[in-house]
Structure 1
Amino acid sequence: MTALTPEDIEFLGRPLYGFFTVATGAVPPQPRPVWFEVTAGRTVELITEPGAAKVRRLRTDPRASLVVTTEVGERERWVSVAGRTSIESEGAHELTNRLAARYWDLGDATRAAELEAMLGADLLRVVIHPEKVTRYSTT
């Protein structure tokens, strides 16, 4: 299947970590946990710094995947989104604000300060354009 279902979108709307893997790089691949957001256009976006290894690797081969799973103690469920990526300089700080509000309690002074530091840095958006979506659920 190549499209996210409404059930996938609802699941991916939860503040869960995604495990992002790029096609090129170390063998075996080395996923990294990331914050992410599904857009109205059904792409998946995450933030990164311009000097990150994932950016260098994506410029060589733009294929990547993101796997999101339930928390420990919940019934097993996961969704995997794979496809080509684009690297965008516009909108990264806005995405960072949305993601921080989703994952953190910004009423916490420490988290608010961490967000301010993040917003002071150069950031990029990595956009996954889904070509293959797979899923598993025990429910």
Structure 2
Amino acid sequence: MFRDDDLALLARPLYAYLTVAPHGERWPAPRPVWFELAGNGELQMFSVLGAPKLDRLRERPRASVVVAAPPGEREYWVSVEGSVTLHDEGGIELAARLAERYWDMSNPGYQKVLDEWRASGAVRIVLHPEAVTRFAA
């Protein structure tokens, strides 16, 4: 499903823009999230407990993400859509791994945020790819 260029992009510490079904009459509003590509091709993200996106994903367990190369590089993006499962286990462990990937954990402020996540809990969001589209300039 993923091409080599897709895998190279998804291996980088870039933001994924997660879009879930909106609540009520609202329009879909993508949110930047950290992610990890699992060995089986699934995308894993996390959310702190109580985040509105978790309620929306429970109501309609589908989502899409878009990951794009940053400005200054050749334009390239990958869009992944599919069903979503939510998992109570593994959320904090994923958050800690991703914090190491995205932040300089020698910064005490970042360590404090991670400690707050550990105290409050996190849900692991797994996107099971059903369709992948891409663009390269």
Q: TM-score range by the shorter chain?
A: over 0.9
Q: What are the within-5 Å matches in structure 2 for residues 1-139 of structure 1?
A: 3-25=1-23, 27-138=26-137
Unaligned 5+ runs, structure 1: none
Alpha-carbon displacement from aligned partner over 1:97-119 (angstroms, at most 9, x marks no partner): 11000000011222122222222
**TM-score, normalised relative to structure 1:** 0.91
> Structure 2: how far apart are the matches of 1:75 and 1:105?
27
RMSD of aligned Cα (Å): 1.3
Unaligned 5+ runs, structure 2: none
- SS of alignment partner, residue 95 of structure 1: helix
> Structure 2: how far apart are the matches of 1:51 and 1:106?
25
- SS of alignment partner, residue 98 of structure 2: helix
- SS of alignment partner, residue 97 of structure 1: helix
- For the Cα contact (< 8 Å) 1:24–1:61, is it kept in 2? no
- SS of alignment partner, residue 86 of structure 1: strand
Alpha-carbon displacement from aligned partner over 1:57-98 (angstroms, at most 9, x marks no partner): 111111100001111222211101100000001111110111
What is the identity percentage for the equivalent residue pairs of Structure 1 and Structure 2? 43
> Structure 2: how far apart are the matches of 1:101 and 1:50?
21
Letter in 2 for 1:129: H
Alpha-carbon displacement from aligned partner over 1:116-136 (angstroms, at most 9, x marks no partner): 222221110110000000111
**TM-score, normalised relative to structure 2:** 0.93
Shift of 1:29: 0.8
